[in-house]
C-alpha cells in the first residue's frame, strides 16, 4: 500500500496528459492482442491436426492393405503369418493375445485398485494418503521397458517355481506386471471420484450407524459409480495399448489361444517386431502394421470415448 | 433391559449385527493395507532386482563407452547423449505449444462447439497408445515428409505424446488462480494479453513446470514410438556437436543425425539371449530409472511447495 501512495505522489508532479495512454500505444496493444489470440488459437487447434493426421495415416495405409486382403478374411481368418511364404492375414490371433494379457492385467488392477482407492479415500489418515499417493505416482512413472525387464527376468522365473514347465515367454507374467503398472491409474482416478462425493452423504450414513465399509459400499461407491467405471475403462484402454512389457516378455509368435501360460504376440508386439526388421516401405508386410494399428486405435478410441463421457457425467453431478 | 434393547423387531440381535459389521470393516481395512504393502513391495522388488543385477556393472566406462558386441566393453554413451538431445527437441516443441494451447483454452476460448471439439480431442489424444504416435511419425514424418530416422523426428513424435500432459497441467495451474487477480489487472487498465503475460503466466509457472517435467519424464522412458520410426539400435558414434569451433559456432546438423536412446539400448540388450547382456540391460535400466525418478521426484517436490505456499 505504501508503495502505491508513494507512486501516486511521484506521479503527481507529472503533467496529467502524459498519464493517458497514447493513441499509437493503444493501437499497437490492440494489434498485439489480436495477433496473440490468433497464435494461441493456432496452438490449441494443432492438437486437432494431430488426430486428423493419425486417422489419415492409419486409414490411407490400411486402405492399400485392404486392397490386397478382403476385410472379411482380416476379421475371420485364424492365422496371422504375413511374413511367411504363404501369408495369412487374420487379426484374431493378435487380438486374442492382446485381450488375454489385458484381461490378466485388469484382474489384478481392478480389484486391487478399487480396494486401495476405497482405503485411501475412506480409511487412511491424511498423512498416510499424502505419502502413498506420490509413491503411487512413482510406480506409474517407471518406464515400461523396465517393467518388461522385470516381467521377463524376475516374475517369469519366480512363477516357474509355482508352475513348472512355464515357457520363458508367456502371457501370465507380462499380464501380472501390467496389472501392477495400471494399478496407480485405476487407484488415482477412482479415488478422485470418491473424494468428489460430498461429505454430507458420508455424515448422513455415519449418523445412521453405518461403519466405514458400509458407508463406502452403500453410499460412496454408488455415488462415484460413473467415475470409478471411467477409471476401469481408461485402465482397459492402457492395457490394450501397452507395448514394451508384452514385446519383451510375451513372445512374438501369433497364437490363437486363451491359455495364459502359452506365449503369444499382441497387436503392439507385432508392430514392434516388424519395425525392428527391414521391410521395404511399399511392401504388404509394411502395410500390415498400419492395419493392426488401425484395429488398436479403434478399440482404444471406443474405450476412451466411453470413459470420457462417464467422467464428464460424474463431474456434473455435484 | 440391556438384552431387550439389543433385540430389534424380527428377533435380530443388534449386537451381533454390529459386531459383524465391525469385523467386516476391520477386515477391509486389513485388505486395503495389504494391497498397499504389496504394491510398495513390488516397487521395492523392481528396484532391488535392477540394483542387484545392474549395480556392479555401473562404472565410469559404462557411461563413456559405445555399444559393443562384447558385453563387458559395451556402454551407453551414444544412448544417453541421444536421449539428452531428443529431450531438448521434445521440450522445445511441446512446452511452448502446450502452454499456448492451455492458455487459449482457459483464458481466451469462447464456449462454442470449436472449443468443445478441441477439448474432447485433447482428452482423447492423452489416451491414444504411444505406438500409434509412432505409426503417425513413420507414415507422415519419415516417409511423407522424407525426414528419415533422425533425432528431429524422434523429438517431434515424443513432443506430440507430451503435448496433452502439458496442456492439461497448464489448464489446471491457470484454473487455480483466483478470478480476483484478473479483475484487478483489468481494473488497472491491462488488456487480456497483458493480464496473461504479467499476472497469469508467472503465477501458473510452478504448476506448468510440474506438468512439463512429468510429461518429459514419461517421454524419456517411451520406447515403442521410437522403435516404430525405425531407430537403429547399434550406434557407435555421436551426432555432430551443436557448438562448433568456427563461425557461426552453432550447428543444427545433429537434428538430422541417426541416434539411439536409453530405452532402446536397454530393449536391445534385453532381447539378446546371452545373460551378460542382461546385466548391461539392468545397468541401463538403473540409469533410466534414476533419470525418471529424479524428474518425477522434482515435480512432486515443486507441487508440494506450491501446496505449502497456498496454505
> What average pLDDT does this structure show over A8-16?
48
Q: Residue A180 and residue B39: Cβ atoms within 8 Å?
A: yes
pLDDT range class, residue A280, cuts 50, 70, 90: confident
DSSP secondary-structure letter at B250?
B
pLDDT range class, residue B2, cuts 50, 70, 90: very low
A2/B237 Cα distance (integer angstroms)? 62
pLDDT digits (tens, 9 = 90+) for B105-126: 999 988 888 888 898 888 888 8
Q: Residue B267 and residue A39: Cβ atoms within 8 Å?
A: no
Q: Residue A272 and residue B224: Cβ atoms within 8 Å?
A: yes
Interface test with B, best of A22, A26, A28, A47 (most B CBs within 10 A): A47
Do B39 and B66 belong to one domain? no
pLDDT digits (tens, 9 = 90+) for B186-239: 999 888 999 999 999 999 998 899 889 989 999 998 888 998 887 766 677 777
Would you say residue A167 has pLDDT above 80? yes
Higher-scoring residue by pLDDT: B147, A15? B147
pLDDT at B309: 66
How many structural domains are present in chain B?
Answer: 2
Do B165 and B224 belong to one domain? yes
Do A50 and A99 belong to one domain? no
pTM, 2 dp: 0.86
pLDDT at A5: 42
pLDDT range class, residue A104, cuts 50, 70, 90: very high
The reply to whether A296 touches chain B by the CB within 8 Å rule is yes
Query: B144, B130, B230, B139: which is closest to A291 by C-alpha?
Result: B139
> What average pLDDT does this structure show over A182-192?
91
Residue A285 lies in a domain: yes
Which residues from chain A sit within 8 angstroms of residue B293, using beta carbons? Answer: 138, 141-142
B251/A290 Cα distance (integer angstroms)? 36
Would you say residue A42 has pLDDT above 70? yes
pLDDT at B6: 59
Which residues from chain B sit within 8 angstroms of residue A300, using beta carbons? Answer: 127-129, 132
Helix, coil or strand: residue A225:
helix
pLDDT range class, residue B250, cuts 50, 70, 90: low
Which three cell numbers, joined as nine digits, stand for A132? Answer: 502413498
Do B106 and B21 belong to one domain? no
Q: Residue A47 and residue B121: Cβ atoms within 8 Å?
A: yes
Q: Which residues of B255-294 are buried (b: 16+ CB within 10 A; e: fewer)?
A: bebbbbbbbbbbbbbbbeeeeebbbbbbbbbbbbbebbee
Q: Residue A142 and residue B227: Cβ atoms within 8 Å?
A: no
What CATH number is given to the structural domain containing A200?
1.10.3720.10
Which residues from chain A sit within 8 angstroms of residue B118, using beta carbons? Answer: 44-45, 47-48
Question: Among partner residues B22, B140, B222, which is closest to A211 by beta-carbon distance?
Answer: B22
pLDDT at B65: 80
Q: Residue B221 and residue A123: Cβ atoms within 8 Å?
A: no
Q: Are A193 and A228 in contact (CB under 8 A)?
A: yes
Higher-scoring residue by pLDDT: A296, B256? A296
Do B101 and B236 belong to one domain? yes
Poorest-pLDDT segment among A9-23, B46-60, B76-90, B235-249: A9-23
Do B225 and B279 belong to one domain? yes
Do B47 and B86 belong to one domain? no
Which residues from chain A sit within 8 angstroms of residue B221, using beta carbons? Answer: 141-146
B173/B194 Cα distance (integer angstroms)? 18
pLDDT digits (tens, 9 = 90+) for A216-228: 999 999 888 888 9
How many structural domains are present in chain A?
Answer: 2
Do A290 and A194 belong to one domain? yes
Do B206 and B251 belong to one domain? yes
Would you say residue B133 has pLDDT above 50? yes
Question: Among partner residues B43, B118, B135, which is closest to A45 by beta-carbon distance?
Answer: B118
Residue A12 lies in a domain: no
Domain range for B253: 59-310
Q: Which residues of A114-131 are buried (b: 16+ CB within 10 A; e: fewer)?
A: bbbbbbbbbbbeeeeeee
Residue A152 lies in a domain: yes
Q: Which residues contact B122 (CB under 8 A, 6 or more apart)?
A: A47, B101, B105, B164, B167, B168
Kindly identify which residue of chain B lies nearest to residue A137, measuring between CA atoms: B296
pLDDT at B134: 92
> What average pLDDT does this structure show over A32-45?
93
Helix, coil or strand: residue B12:
strand
Do A26 and A144 belong to one domain? no
pLDDT at A3: 42
A288/A65 Cα distance (integer angstroms)? 7
A106/A108 Cα distance (integer angstroms)? 5
Interface pTM, i.e. ipTM: 0.86
Residue A7 lies in a domain: no
Do B200 and B261 belong to one domain? yes
Kindly identify which residue of chain B lies nearest to residue A240, measuring between CA atoms: B129
pLDDT range class, residue B247, cuts 50, 70, 90: low
> What average pLDDT does this structure show over B14-35?
88
pLDDT at B54: 84
pLDDT range class, residue B310, cuts 50, 70, 90: low
Do A228 and A263 belong to one domain? yes
Residue A41, Cβ neighbours under 10 Å: how many?
18
Classify burial at B194, counting beta carbons within 10 Å of its beta carbon; exposed 0-12, middle 13-18, buried 19 or more.
middle
- Which range in A19-23, A149-153, B15-19 is most confidently predicted, on average pLDDT? A149-153
Do A33 and A173 belong to one domain? no
Which three cell numbers, joined as nine digits, stand for A242? Answer: 501397452
Q: For chain B, how many residues are written?
A: 311
Which residues from chain A sit within 8 angstroms of residue B160, using beta carbons? Answer: 50
pLDDT range class, residue B1, cuts 50, 70, 90: very low
Would you say residue A10 has pLDDT above 60? no
Do A196 and A157 belong to one domain? yes
Which residues from chain B sit within 8 angstroms of residue A242, using beta carbons? Answer: 129
Residue A259 lies in a domain: yes
Do A44 and A145 belong to one domain? no
Q: Residue A40 and residue B100: Cβ atoms within 8 Å?
A: yes
Do A38 and A148 belong to one domain? no
Would you say residue A146 has pLDDT above 90? yes
Residue A75 lies in a domain: no
Mean pLDDT of chain A: 85
Q: Residue B50 and residue A139: Cβ atoms within 8 Å?
A: no
pLDDT at B7: 66
Q: Which stretches of A163-228 are assigned E, i.e. beta strand?
A: none
> What average pLDDT does this structure show over A70-74?
84
Do A203 and A285 belong to one domain? yes
- List the 221-250 stretch of A: residues with Cβ below 8 A of B: 234, 237-238, 240-244, 247-248
Do B135 and B283 belong to one domain? yes
Do B35 and B170 belong to one domain? no
Higher-scoring residue by pLDDT: B38, A308? B38
Do B50 and B91 belong to one domain? no
Q: Residue B123 and residue A57: Cβ atoms within 8 Å?
A: no
Which residues from chain B sit within 8 angstroms of residue A131, using beta carbons? Answer: none
Do A63 and A120 belong to one domain? no
pLDDT at B243: 67
Higher-scoring residue by pLDDT: A284, A57? A57
Which residues from chain A sit within 8 angstroms of residue B261, using beta carbons? Answer: none
Residue A313 lies in a domain: yes
pLDDT range class, residue B159, cuts 50, 70, 90: very high
Mean pLDDT of chain B: 85
What CATH number is given to the structural domain containing B301?
1.10.3720.10
Do A182 and A272 belong to one domain? yes
Do B289 and B163 belong to one domain? yes
Cis geometry, peptide bond prior to residue B248 (ω within 30 degrees of 0) = yes
Which residues from chain A sit within 8 angstroms of residue B163, using beta carbons? Answer: 46-47, 50
Would you say residue A314 has pLDDT above 80? no
Domain range for A36: 20-68
Q: Residue A143 and residue B222: Cβ atoms within 8 Å?
A: yes
pLDDT at A4: 43
Residue A82 lies in a domain: no
Do A108 and A183 belong to one domain? yes
Question: Among partner residues B139, B271, B296, which is closest to A138 by beta-carbon distance?
Answer: B296
Higher-scoring residue by pLDDT: B291, B72? B291
**Helix H or strand E encompassing B13:** strand B12-13
Amino acid at each position: 500500500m505504501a508503495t502505491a501512495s508513494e507512486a501516486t505522489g511521484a506521479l503527481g508532479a507529472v503533467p496529467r496528459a502524459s498519464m493517458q495512454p497514447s493513441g499509437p500505444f493503444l493501437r499497437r496493444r490492440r494489434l498485439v492482442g489480436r495477433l496473440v489470440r490468433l497464435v494461441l488459437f493456432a496452438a490449441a487447434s494443432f492438437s486437432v491436426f494431430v488426430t486428423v493426421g493419425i486417422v489419415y495415416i492409419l486409414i490411407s495405409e490400411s486402405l492399400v492393405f485392404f486392397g490386397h486382403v478382403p476385410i472379411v478374411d482380416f476379421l475371420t481368418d485364424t492365422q496371422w503369418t504375413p511374413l511367411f511364404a504363404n501369408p495369412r492375414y487374420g487379426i484374431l490371433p493378435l487380438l486374442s493375445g492382446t485381450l488375454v494379457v489385458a484381461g490378466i492385467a485388469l484382474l489384478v488392477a481392478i480389484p486391487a485398485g478399487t480396494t486401495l482407492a476405497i482405503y485411501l479415500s475412506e480409511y487412511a489418515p491424511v498423512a498416510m494418503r499424502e505419502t502413498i499417493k506420490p509413491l503411487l505416482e512413482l510406480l506409474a512413472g517407471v518406464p515400461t521397458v523396465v517393467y518388461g525387464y522385470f516381467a521377463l527376468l524376475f516374475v517369469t522365473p519366480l512363477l516357474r517355481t509355482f508352475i513348472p514347465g512355464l515357457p520363458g515367454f508367456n502371457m501370465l507374467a507380462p499380464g501380472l506386471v501390467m496389472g501392477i503398472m495400471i494399478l496407480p491409474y485405476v487407484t488415482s482416478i477412482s479415488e478422485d471420484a470418491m473424494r468428489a462425493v460430498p461429505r454430507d452423504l458420508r455424515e448422513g450414513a455415519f449418523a445412521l450407524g453405518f461403519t466405514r465399509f458400509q458407508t463406502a459400499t452403500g453410499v460412496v461407491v454408488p455415488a462415484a459409480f460413473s467415475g470409478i467405471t471411467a477409471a476401469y475403462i481408461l485402465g482397459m484402454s492402457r492395457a490394450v495399448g501397452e507395448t514394451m512389457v508384452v514385446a519383451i516378455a510375451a513372445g512374438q509368435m501369433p497364437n490363437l489361444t486363451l491359455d495364459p501360460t502359452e506365449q503369444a504376440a499382441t497387436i503392439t508386439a507385432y508392430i514392434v517386431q516388424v519395425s525392428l526388421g527391414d521391410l521395404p516401405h511399399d511392401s504388404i508386410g509394411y502395410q500390415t502394421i498400419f492395419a493392426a494399428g488401425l484395429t488398436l486405435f479403434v478399440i482404444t478410441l471406443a474405450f476412451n470415448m466411453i470413459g470420457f463421457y462417464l467422467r464428464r457425467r460424474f463431474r456434473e453431478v455435484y | 433391559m440391556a438384552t431387550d434393547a439389543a433385540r430389534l423387531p424380527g428377533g435380530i440381535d443388534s449386537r451381533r449385527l454390529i459386531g459383524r459389521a465391525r469385523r467386516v470393516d476391520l477386515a477391509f481395512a486389513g485388505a486395503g493395507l495389504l494391497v498397499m504393502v504389496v504394491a510398495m513391495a513390488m516397487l521395492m522388488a523392481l528396484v532391488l532386482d535392477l540394483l542387484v543385477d545392474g549395480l556392479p556393472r555401473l562404472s565410469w566406462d559404462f557411461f563413456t563407452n559405445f555399444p559393443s558386441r562384447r558385453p563387458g566393453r559395451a556402454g551407453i554413451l551414444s544412448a544417453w547423449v541421444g536421449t539428452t538431445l531428443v529431450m531438448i527437441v521434445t521440450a522445445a516443441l511441446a512446452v511452448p505449444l502446450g502452454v499456448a494451447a492451455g492458455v487459449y483454452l482457459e483464458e481466451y476460448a469462447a464456449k462454442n462447439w470449436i472449443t468443445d471439439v478441441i477439448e474432447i480431442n485433447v482428452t482423447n489424444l492423452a489416451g491414444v497408445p504411444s505406438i500409434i504416435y509412432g505409426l503417425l511419425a513413420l507414415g507422415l514424418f519419415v516417409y511423407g515428409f522424407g525426414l528419415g530416422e533422425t533425432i528431429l523426428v524422434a523429438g517431434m513424435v515424443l513432443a506430440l505424446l507430451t503435448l496433452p500432459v502439458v496442456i492439461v497441467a497448464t489448464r489446471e495451474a491457470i484454473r487455480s488462480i483466483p478470478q480476483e487477480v484478473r479483475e484487478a489487472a483489468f481494473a488497472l487498465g491491462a488488456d487480456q494479453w497483458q493480464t496473461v503475460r504479467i499476472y497469469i503466466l508467472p503465477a501458473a509457472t510452478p504448476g506448468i513446470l510440474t506438468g512439463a517435467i512429468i510429461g518429459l519424464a514419461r517421454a524419456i522412458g517411451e520406447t515403442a514410438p521410437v522403435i516404430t520410426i525405425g531407430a537403429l539400435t547399434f550406434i557407435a558414434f555421436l551426432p555432430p556437436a551443436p557448438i562448433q569451433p568456427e563461425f557461426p559456432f552453432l550447428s543444427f546438423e545433429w537434428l538430422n543425425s541417426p541416434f539411439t536412446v536409453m530405452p532402446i539400448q536397454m530393449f536391445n540388450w534385453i532381447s539378446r539371449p546371452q545373460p551378460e547382456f542382461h546385466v548391461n540391460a539392468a545397468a541401463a535400466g538403473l540409469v533410466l530409472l534414476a533419470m525418471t525418478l529424479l524428474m518425477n521426484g522434482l515435480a512432486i517436490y515443486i507441487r508440494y511447495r506450491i501446496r505449502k505456499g497456498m496454505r
